[in-house]
Chains A and B, each alone.
Chain A
Amino acid sequence: MTAGPAHNVPATAAPDRRARPARPPRAGTRLLRLHAASRRVPAAIAAIAACAIGLRIALLGHWDTYGALQLPLVFEAGAAAAITVTTASPIGEPERVTGRWLPFLRLVTALALTAAAAGALAAAGTGAQMAGGPLDVLRNLAGMTGFGLLCAAVLGGGLAWAGPLGYLVAGAYGLYTQWHRPALTTPWIWPARPPHDLGAAVCAALVFSVGIAVISVRGAHDPAGE
C-alpha cells in the first residue's frame, strides 16, 4: 500500500466552546408557546375567561350587603386557582436539568396569566356595579395568586388550588365581618380592606412578589409519578 501525495489540508480552527450557536429569531416565541402548551395555559385562559363571563353574568343580578362584596372575590379566586394549577409540570426532572430559560418561562407565564386575569375581570366589571372596582380586583387577584404559587412550591401544582380557595373562605368571612362586628381589620385579609388601603395592598403585593420569585426559581413541587 503506497502513500498518496500529501494534500495540504487547511488547518481548521478549534471550535470556540464559548460561542453559542445563533438562535433563530422565532425560537424564543416557539419555546414560549411550547412551554405554555405544556402547562395547559390555553385551558387556563379559557378558565379565566369563564370566570370573567361568569362575573359579568352574576353582576346582572342584584346583590346586597356583603354578598355584593363577596361576589367578585369568588371569581378572583377561581382565576387565581386556574393560574396556580398551570405551575404543575408534566415533565418533571428532564425539564429541570435543561438550560437557563426555565425560570424566565415560569416568570413570564405567571405574570402574563395574572395580568390577563386582572384585565379580564376588570373588564367584566366595567359598566356594572362591581364592588371595589378594578383596584380591588388587581389586589385580591395578585395576592391570592401569590398565595397559590407559594402553595404550589410546597404541595405541587396539582394541589395548589387549595391555597387560593382556602383564602377565598377567609376573605369572604372577612367581608362578612364588616356587617357583623367585630370586623377583621388585619391587612393580611386584604379582601376585607377598602380598595385604596395601602397596608392591604402592600401585603398582597408582598405575597405576590414572593410567590412569583419562588415559583420562578424553584418551580412547583414535582410529586413522583405525576
Chain B
Amino acid sequence: MTVVRAPAASRPMPAQRGQLRAGARLLRLELCHNAMLWMLPVAAGLFWFTTYRKAMAMPPLWNLRASTMQSGALLAFVCPVAGAAAWMGSREARRHTADLVTITARPRWARQFATWAATTFWATVGYLGCVAALYGVTAQQAHWGGPLWWPAAVGAASLPALSAAAFAAGTLVPSRFTAPVVAIVAFFALALSTQLIDGSQSSWQISPVVTGPWDVGPDPGVGTFYRYLPDLSIAQVMFLSGLTLAVLGALALPNGRGVPWLRRPAAVIATAGLLAAGTAVALARTGKLDAHGMIAIPALHDAANDRPLSYPPVCSHTAIPVCLNPAYTSYLPPTAAALTPVLDEIASLPGAPARISQAAAVYRQGRGTSVSISMAGPLLSGTPPVFHMLLPFQLAGPAMTTGEVAAAVRSTAGPAIVASVVGDGPGATPAQRAVAAALRTSAGLPEAVLRSAPTRQRPSGAIVPLPVPAQAAARRFAALPASVRHAWLVRHLAALRSGRITLAQLP
C-alpha cells in the first residue's frame, strides 16, 4: 500500500491590496528606525554652514542662488547620505539578524528596497526642506523672476542614486569601515572630479555639482535676459536616474538560489539604467557654451528657450534714465548714483543718449577652457540713441559689493558715455579729447586711457597721451561754470563731433 503524503495545505497568498498594505506597513517601520533620520541634523547643519550662508551673501538673483544651492547642497548631503545608506545596507550583518530575515517568505529584494526607500525618503525630505528654506528667503528678496526648478530637480535626483550605490556597498561589504569609506569616496568623486572638466564639451560636466560652464562658475549675468537652459540639467537627471535604476536592478539580481522570476526584470532594469546613464554622458559631451552663457545640448535643446525674455525694465529718475533688467533692481541706486554726475553734464545735449540701458552679455568659448564675455550689440543704437552697457559682474569674476559695482560703473561706463557724446576715441581731434577730459574731470570720473590702433608689435595698441596744449584747454573748459559749459556744448557739439572745432576755439 502506498501512502500518499499530501503536503501541508498552502496558505493563501495575500491579495494585491493586502500586499500593498503590508508593504506600506513595512516601509513605515523602516522610516521610524532609519539612520538617515539621525543624519538629518548633520546634513542640515552642513547645508547652512556651506551653502545657505554663501547664497545669502550673494545678490538675490535666482540663477545665482539656484546654482549655488545645487552644487552646495549636494556636497553638504553627500557624506551623511552615503554614510547612512551604507550603514543601513550593512544592518542585517551587524545586528546578526541575517538568518532570521533570510528564512522569511518576503523576497530579499523587497526587504532591501524598503530599507533603501526609507533612507532615500528622509534624505529627500531633508534636502527639500533646505531647498524650501533657501528658495523661500530668495523669493522674499528677489525683485524679479521665479524659482529655477531644474537645479533643485538635479539635487533631488542625486539622492536616490547616491543612497542606492552606498546601500549596495553596505550589503556587499558589511564592515564597520564600509560607511566611512563609502562616504569619503562619494565626496571625493563629487568634489574633486570637477577638476577633470575641460571646456564646455567635457563628459565630466555630467556631474550633478556642475550647473553651467564650469570655467565661468556661478554667473550673475546668466538666466536674466534669456531663459535658463535646462539642457544640462535634463542630461544630469537622466544620468542619475539611470544610475539609480542600474544599481537597484543589480541589487535585485539574485545571488545563490534567489528568485527566478525576478532575474529577467532585474537584468532589464539594470541594463536600461546603464544605457540611460551612458546616453546622458554622451549627450553631455555634445554640449557647448551658447551665446547666453549656458550649456546647450543639441539633442535636448528647445529652440523656444533661445528667445529673449521680455521684462519691464526698472529705470532711475536721473537726467538721463538708467534702465536695468528688473532682476538687478538692487543695483539701480548705486549705478544711477555713480553715473549722475556725467549724466547731468550731457543731458539735453544734441546727440546725447536718451537712455542708458543694460545689455545682455555674449559668451564665446575660446581655446581650451577660456571663455570670453562681451556685450552683444553696439554701444549706441536707435533713434534717439540708447547707450548700452554691461554691469561689471556680467563679465564674471569675483563677487563685488555694491560699492565696488558703483566704482566700476563710474570708471568704465562713465568715460564711455562721455566719449560717445563727444566723439572721443582713436582718430579724435585734440579739441574732442580736451572736451572729453574736461567733462570727465567735472563729473569726477577717472582719466580714460586712449590707445592707438593695435599693431603687430603692440597687439593692445599704444597709450596715446593727451598733448600738453589739450591738457591746458581741458583745464580751462572744466573750470567754466556748468551752465556756461553746457550752453557752449549745445551750440557747438555738432561741430566738435565733426572735427571742425580747434583747441583755440574752446572757451
Q: Using a CB–CB distance below 8 Å, which chain A residues touch chain B?
A: 40, 43-44, 47, 58, 61, 63-64, 67, 70-71, 74, 77-78, 81-82, 84-85, 88, 157-159, 161-162, 164-166, 168-170, 172-173, 180-182, 225-226
A40 to B188, CA, bound (A): 25
Given A74-B192, A159-B87, A182-B57: A166 and B184 interface contact (C-beta under 8 Å) = no
A58 to B192, CA, bound (A): 10
What B residues does A169 contact at CB under 8 A?
46, 50, 75-76, 78-79, 187
Whether B180 and A166, one on each chain, are in contact in the complex, defined by CB atoms closer than 8 angstroms, is no
Q: Using a CB–CB distance below 8 Å, which chain B residues touch chain A?
A: 35, 38-39, 42, 45-46, 49-50, 54, 57, 75-76, 78-80, 83, 87, 94-95, 175-177, 179-181, 183-184, 187-188, 191-192, 195, 398-399
What A residues does B50 contact at CB under 8 A?
169-170, 173
Beyond A82-B177, A173-B75, 20 additional contacts (C-beta under 8 Å) are A40-B176, A61-B195, A67-B192, A71-B192, A74-B184, A74-B187, A78-B180, A81-B183, A161-B83, A162-B42, A162-B80, A162-B83, A165-B184, A166-B46, A168-B79, A169-B76, A169-B79, A170-B49, A172-B75, A180-B54
A74 to B184, CA, bound (A): 7
A159 to B91, CA, bound (A): 12
State how many angstroms separate the Cβ of B461 from the closest Cβ of chain A.
32
**Nearest B residue to A90 by beta-carbon distance?**
B176
Whether B195 and A63, one on each chain, are in contact in the complex, defined by CB atoms closer than 8 angstroms, is yes
A158 to B178, CA, bound (A): 10
Whether B177 and A181, one on each chain, are in contact in the complex, defined by CB atoms closer than 8 angstroms, is no
A165 to B191, CA, bound (A): 13
- 5 of the cross-chain contacts (CB-CB < 8 Å) are A165-B187, A169-B46, A169-B78, A169-B187, A181-B398
State how many angstroms separate the Cβ of A73 from the closest Cβ of chain B.
10
Given A74-B188, A172-B191: A166 and B177 interface contact (C-beta under 8 Å) = no
A43 to B174, CA, bound (A): 13
Provide the main secondary structure of the chain A interface. helix
State how many angstroms separate the Cβ of A184 from the closest Cβ of chain B.
9
What B residues does A77 contact at CB under 8 A?
184
What B residues does A40 contact at CB under 8 A?
176-177
Provide the main secondary structure of the chain B interface. helix
A88 to B184, CA, bound (A): 20
Q: Which residue from B45, B95, B177, B188 sits with its C-beta under 8 Å from A225?
A: B95
What A residues does B45 contact at CB under 8 A?
166
Whether A162 and B187, one on each chain, are in contact in the complex, defined by CB atoms closer than 8 angstroms, is no
What A residues does B187 contact at CB under 8 A?
74, 165, 168-169
State how many angstroms separate the Cβ of A192 from the closest Cβ of chain B.
12
Whether A180 and B399, one on each chain, are in contact in the complex, defined by CB atoms closer than 8 angstroms, is yes
A51 to B183, CA, bound (A): 13
**Nearest B residue to A51 by beta-carbon distance?**
B184
What B residues does A44 contact at CB under 8 A?
177
Whether B49 and A161, one on each chain, are in contact in the complex, defined by CB atoms closer than 8 angstroms, is no
State how many angstroms separate the Cβ of A132 from the closest Cβ of chain B.
16
What B residues does A181 contact at CB under 8 A?
398-399
Which residue of B42, B46, B180, B195 has the most chain A CB atoms within 10 A of its CB atom? B180
A47 to B184, CA, bound (A): 12
State how many angstroms separate the Cβ of B14 from the closest Cβ of chain A.
31
A88 to B398, CA, bound (A): 46
Given A158-B94, A162-B83, A226-B94: A78 and B181 interface contact (C-beta under 8 Å) = yes
What B residues does A168 contact at CB under 8 A?
79, 184, 187
A88 to B94, CA, bound (A): 12
A72 to B45, CA, bound (A): 23
A181 to B54, CA, bound (A): 9
A182 to B399, CA, bound (A): 9
Which residue of B76, B95, B191 has the most chain A CB atoms within 10 A of its CB atom? B191
What B residues does A67 contact at CB under 8 A?
192, 195
**Nearest B residue to A46 by beta-carbon distance?**
B177
State how many angstroms separate the Cβ of A189 from the closest Cβ of chain B.
9
What B residues does A58 contact at CB under 8 A?
192
State how many angstroms separate the Cβ of B411 from the closest Cβ of chain A.
21
State how many angstroms separate the Cβ of A36 from the closest Cβ of chain B.
15
Whether A166 and B80, one on each chain, are in contact in the complex, defined by CB atoms closer than 8 angstroms, is yes
State how many angstroms separate the Cβ of A171 from the closest Cβ of chain B.
10
State how many angstroms separate the Cβ of B41 from the closest Cβ of chain A.
10
A159 to B179, CA, bound (A): 9
**Nearest B residue to A67 by beta-carbon distance?**
B195
Which 9 pairs, one residue from A and one from B, show the smallest C-beta to C-beta distance? A161-B180, A81-B180, A173-B50, A165-B79, A78-B184, A67-B195, A169-B46, A165-B183, A166-B42
Which residue of B49, B57, B78 has the most chain A CB atoms within 10 A of its CB atom? B49
**Nearest A residue to B51 by beta-carbon distance?**
A173
State how many angstroms separate the Cβ of A112 from the closest Cβ of chain B.
18
State how many angstroms separate the Cβ of B297 from the closest Cβ of chain A.
26
What A residues does B80 contact at CB under 8 A?
162, 165-166
A225 to B96, CA, bound (A): 9
State how many angstroms separate the Cβ of A172 from the closest Cβ of chain B.
6
Which residue of B83, B175, B192 has the most chain A CB atoms within 10 A of its CB atom? B192
What A residues does B87 contact at CB under 8 A?
158-159
What A residues does B39 contact at CB under 8 A?
162
A170 to B187, CA, bound (A): 12
Given A166-B79, A170-B46: A70 and B191 interface contact (C-beta under 8 Å) = yes
What A residues does B180 contact at CB under 8 A?
78, 81-82, 84-85, 161, 164-165
A63 to B188, CA, bound (A): 13
A102 to B192, CA, bound (A): 41
Which residue of A63, A84, A166, A225 has the most chain B CB atoms within 10 A of its CB atom? A166
What A residues does B46 contact at CB under 8 A?
166, 169-170
What B residues does A157 contact at CB under 8 A?
176
A52 to B369, CA, bound (A): 32
